[in-house]
Structure 1
Amino acid sequence: MLFAGAAQADAVDTLREFVRDVKSARAQFTQTVSSPDGAKKKTSSGSFAFQRPDRFRFSYDKPYQQLIVGDGAKVWLFDADLNQVSVRPAEKAVSGTPAALLAGAGLERDFTLKAQPAADGIEWVLATPKAAEGTVKQLRVGFKGRELAALEITDSFGQRSLLQFSAVQQGVALPADTFRFEPPKGAELMQQ
């Protein structure tokens, strides 16, 4: 039993090392969103990239095209089907979110960390946002060895989103324009 406790403590250390050492990464993801009763709702897929500090990009390709870009100052959300762009100041949009956990600089300041039991070869860490005003209730980050494998988000309504990462490349050079966003011509712009 002592060994299990040490292994769980290592998962928190792995997250701390990931935040400290991995300055950039990119991956593919599949996201499954489930309702509070556990019923499967929808599946989407796309790509993800981040660069510390505070730059990230989630590009959803299927079933709908959507883009979320954090450029360090603002967070842009583009819905291609609606041709609509929402923009918010980063400090209001990112606190207590997966982007803050993966790309932010305040892991211990923003989250309470606790090791969780391993499952299916993944070591899990529970990260609870310290700020209560956000929509994210808790996050679970999963690692296979030292590589980011999964992220589970539970919102304040009990809805769960599981992102499973593949083709993960950590410590890669990313083009600067990865984290820039220009609203398409004719898109409706909503400032928040």
Structure 2
Amino acid sequence: MPRKRSGKRPVASAGAAQKGQVRIIGGERRGHRLHFVDHGGDLRPSSDRMRETLFNWLQFELPGLRVLDLFAGSGALGAEALSRGAREAVLVEKQRDRSADLNRQLTPLFEGRITVHCADALSWLPAQREPFDLVFIDPPYDLGLVTPACEALEAHGLLADGAIIYVESRRQGEVPAVPAHWLLSKEKSGGDIHARLYRRETGAV
């Protein structure tokens, strides 16, 4: 799952672009490869194994869910959720070229079920009105975006009752601060990644 900054890869020379791909590993589009261009080496690859673990956690929950991939990057999480039965996915990606690339590849693949927004995630959230059932929060490491994203989701009423929230962070970093009524359901570490799955307590205000 190619994602954001970790500092693990060398910075490319000016104007260089590294081409890569990520594979959808389950569901109706299993095996389909999404291609991306990584300008400057700032997308962070996670193993298929970690992504498979996440979707094994979610396998009985996904059908019919409305999903938000808040820091979309390569789009792997949103695409995987749709492939495995999610009703709808909204992807938010700040970088214009990546957003355009997501639109180009994913709109034909999941026609009518996916929307891609080119926007800063924290600026985009306050304008939304319809809640989500599942949210992926996997921002670039070390920018302090997890806690503000969690707070904004709650402040603007964007989580359905009993919503599921996936948070990915640096393994050796501080534990992300999340609302008290988000109950930790699953967690796993692998490489530099620590993955946590929360469920918003039913009836929480």
Structure number, greater radius of gyration? 1
| Structure with the bigger percentage of helix | 2
Answer 1 or 2: higher relative contact order, Cα 8 Å, separation at least 6: 1
- Give TM-score, length-normalised by structure 2: 0.33
Greater percentage in strand: 1
